[in-house]
Amino acid sequence: MKLTSYGRSLHELNILKDQGFEEVILEPKSLSRFGKLSKDEFLALSMRAKELGLRVLLEWDILMTEDVFTAKLKEVNDYVAHADAVRVQDPGAFGWVVRNTDRPLQFIAENGNHNLPALEGWVDLAKGRLERLILSIELSKTAIEGYVQKLKVPCELLGMGRILLFYTPRPLLSALAPEKMTMNGEIAALGESEESPHKGFPIVENAHGTFMFHIKEFCLVDFAHELRQMGLGFFRIDQRWDNQLLAEISGLVKNFDATGFETFKEKYTQDLMRGFYLVNKTDVLFPKLKNSRLQKREGDYIGEVLEAEKGSHLAIMVKNPKGLKKTDLLKILHPKGEIFESKIYSLRNLSLEEVDSVAAGNLAIIQFIGGVWVKSQVFYQ
Amino acid sequence: MTKHQLPEVLAPAGSLDKLKIAVLYGANAVYVGGQKFGLRTAADNFTLDELREGMNFAHERGTQVYVVLNSFLHDKDLEEVPEFVKFLEEIGTDAVIVSDLGVVKTVRAHSKIPVHISTQASTLNSESARIWKEAGATRIVLGREVSVKEAGKIKREVDIEIEMFIHGSMCMAYSGHCVISNFTQGRDSNRGGCAHSCRFEYSLEGLDTPEKKKAYFMSSKDLEGLRVLPAFIEEKIDSLKIEGRMKSHLYAGTMSKVYSEALKYYAEHGDFLSDDLINWEAELSKVSHRTYTEASLVEKAGADSIFNERENASDGEWQMVGSVIDANPKSGIVIEVRNAFNQGDELEIIPFKGPAIKVVANEIMDLAMKAVTRTRPTTLVRLPFVEGVSSMHLVRQRGKA
Ligand code: SF4
Higher pLDDT, residue B343 or B186: B343
**Chain B residue with minimum CA distance to A299:** B49
Taking CA atoms, B103 is separated from A220, A227, B179, in Å, by 29, 27, 20
Chain A contact present for B205, CB below 8 A: yes
Task: Please answer whether residues B129 and B48 qualify as being in contact, where contact means their C-beta atoms are separated by less than 8 angstroms.
Answer: no
- Which phi and psi (to 5°) does residue A144 adopt? -60, -45
What pairs with residue A309 in β-bridges? Answer: A313
Residue by residue, DSSP assigns B53-69 as HHHHHHHHTT-EEEEEE
The rounded Å distance from CA B199 to ligand 1 centre is 8
**What does R_g of chain B's alpha carbons equal in angstroms?**
22
Q: Which residues of chain A have pLDDT under 50?
A: 292-295
State the Cα–Cα distance between residues A166 and A214, nearest whole angstrom.
9
Interface with B, mutate which of A164, A278, A296, A350 (most B CBs under 10 A): A350
Hey, are the CB atoms on B202 and A191 less than 8 Å from each other? Answer: yes
Interface with B, mutate which of A33, A60, A66, A355 (most B CBs under 10 A): A66
**Shortest Cα distance, chain B CAs vs residue A163, angstroms:** 9
pLDDT higher than 70, residue B191 = yes
Instruction: Say whether A379 sits in a helix, a strand or coil.
Output: strand
The rounded Å distance from CA B126 to ligand 1 centre is 25
In chain A, residues with a C-beta closer than 8 Å to the C-beta of B130 are: 92, 95
pLDDT higher than 50, residue B1 = no
Smallest CA-to-CA distance from B98 within B146, B33, B145 is with B33
State the Cα–Cα distance between residues B160 and B163, nearest whole angstrom.
10
pLDDT higher than 90, residue B209 = no
What pLDDT is stored for residue B2 in this prediction?
A: 44
Taking CA atoms, A189 is separated from A113, B204, B217, in Å, by 31, 6, 12
Mutate to test the pocket of ligand 1, among B189, B217, B223 (most ligand atoms within 8 A of CB): B189
Chain A contact present for B375, CB below 8 A: no
State the Cα–Cα distance between residues B295 and B164, nearest whole angstrom.
12
Q: Are strands B222-224 and B318-328 parallel, antiparallel or unpaired?
A: unpaired
Taking CA atoms, B288 is separated from B21, B130, B223, B256, in Å, by 17, 38, 13, 15
Chain A contact present for B190, CB below 8 A: yes
What average pLDDT does this structure show over B321-342? Answer: 95
Question: Of the ranges A201-205, B268-272, B319-323, which one carries the lowest mean pLDDT score?
Answer: B268-272
Model pTM score:
0.94
Instruction: Say whether A20 sits in a helix, a strand or coil.
Output: coil
- Whether the CA torsion A94, A98, A102, A104 is positive or negative: it is positive
Task: Please answer whether residues B349 and B393 qualify as being in contact, where contact means their C-beta atoms are separated by less than 8 angstroms.
Answer: yes
Longest alpha-carbon distance in chain A: 94
* Ramachandran assignment for A297, one of left (phi > 0), alpha (psi -120 to 50 degrees), beta (any other): left
- Which phi and psi (to 5°) does residue A173 adopt? -85, -45
In chain A, residues with a C-beta closer than 8 Å to the C-beta of B101 are: 113, 117-118, 121-122, 125
Task: Please answer whether residues A367 and A345 qualify as being in contact, where contact means their C-beta atoms are separated by less than 8 angstroms.
Answer: yes
Task: Please answer whether residues A232 and A155 qualify as being in contact, where contact means their C-beta atoms are separated by less than 8 angstroms.
Answer: yes
Hey, are the CB atoms on A190 and B154 less than 8 Å from each other? Answer: no
What are the tens digits of pLDDT across the range B55-95? 999 999 999 999 999 989 999 989 999 999 999 999 999 99
pLDDT higher than 70, residue B111 = yes
Burial code (b: 16+ CB inside 10 Å, e: under 16) for A213-235 equals: bbbbbbbbbbbbeebbebebbbb
The mean pLDDT of chain B is 92
What pLDDT is stored for residue B270 in this prediction?
A: 87
Which residue's CA is minimally distant from atom 2 of ligand 1?
B198
- pLDDT band at residue B42 under the 50/70/90 scheme: low
pLDDT higher than 80, residue B235 = yes
What average pLDDT does this structure show over B363-370? Answer: 95
**Shortest Cα distance, chain A CAs vs residue B201, angstroms:** 6
Task: Please answer whether residues B132 and B109 qualify as being in contact, where contact means their C-beta atoms are separated by less than 8 angstroms.
Answer: no
What pLDDT is stored for residue B213 in this prediction?
A: 76
The rounded Å distance from CA A349 to ligand 1 centre is 47
The rounded Å distance from CA B82 to ligand 1 centre is 29
Residues constituting chain A: 381
Interface with A, mutate which of B40, B125, B379 (most A CBs under 10 A): B125
The rounded Å distance from CA B220 to ligand 1 centre is 10
What pairs with residue A219 in β-bridges? Answer: A160
Closest approach atom of ligand 1 to CA B219? 2
Mutate to test the pocket of ligand 1, among B198, B201, B243 (most ligand atoms within 8 A of CB): B198
Q: Does the structure's ipTM exceed the value 0.95?
A: no
**Chain A residue with minimum CA distance to B38:** A286
What are the tens digits of pLDDT across the range A290-308? 554 444 565 688 999 999 9
The rounded Å distance from CA B119 to ligand 1 centre is 13
State the Cα–Cα distance between residues A210 and A173, nearest whole angstrom.
8
Hey, are the CB atoms on A363 and B125 less than 8 Å from each other? Answer: no
Task: Please answer whether residues A318 and A362 qualify as being in contact, where contact means their C-beta atoms are separated by less than 8 angstroms.
Answer: yes
State the Cα–Cα distance between residues A305 and A292, nearest whole angstrom.
16
Smallest CA-to-CA distance from B72 within B224, B176, B216 is with B176
The rounded Å distance from CA A210 to ligand 1 centre is 14
Q: Are strands A23-26 and A2-5 parallel, antiparallel or unpaired?
A: unpaired
Q: Are strands A347-348 and B364-366 parallel, antiparallel or unpaired?
A: unpaired
Task: Please answer whether residues A158 and A218 qualify as being in contact, where contact means their C-beta atoms are separated by less than 8 angstroms.
Answer: yes
Q: Count of alpha carbons within 13 Å of A324, Cβ hemisphere only?
A: 32
Task: Give the B window 251-290 contacts with A, CB below 8 Å.
Answer: none
What pLDDT is stored for residue B401 in this prediction?
A: 40
In chain A, residues with a C-beta closer than 8 Å to the C-beta of B191 are: 282-283, 286
What pairs with residue A314 in β-bridges? Answer: A308, A366
By percentage, how much of chain B surpasses pLDDT 90? Answer: 78
- Which phi and psi (to 5°) does residue A49 adopt? -60, -40
**DSSP 8-state class, residue B269:** H
Single-letter amino acid, residue A21? F
Which residue's CA is minimally distant from atom 1 of ligand 1?
B196
What are the tens digits of pLDDT across the range B116-166? 999 999 999 999 999 999 999 999 999 999 999 999 999 999 999 999 999
Burial code (b: 16+ CB inside 10 Å, e: under 16) for A365-374 equals: bbeebeebeb
Neighbours of B368 (CB within 10 A): 13
What pLDDT is stored for residue B193 in this prediction?
A: 80
In chain B, residues with a C-beta closer than 8 Å to the C-beta of A297 are: 47, 49-50
Closest approach atom of ligand 1 to CA B178? 4
What average pLDDT does this structure show over B176-197? Answer: 88
State the Cα–Cα distance between residues B138 and B160, nearest whole angstrom.
6
Interface with A, mutate which of B18, B74, B123, B134 (most A CBs under 10 A): B74
By percentage, how much of chain A surpasses pLDDT 70? Answer: 96
What pairs with residue B401 in β-bridges? Answer: none
pLDDT higher than 70, residue B39 = no
Site residues for ligand 1, CB cut-off 6 Å: B 171-173, 178, 180, 189, 194, 196-198
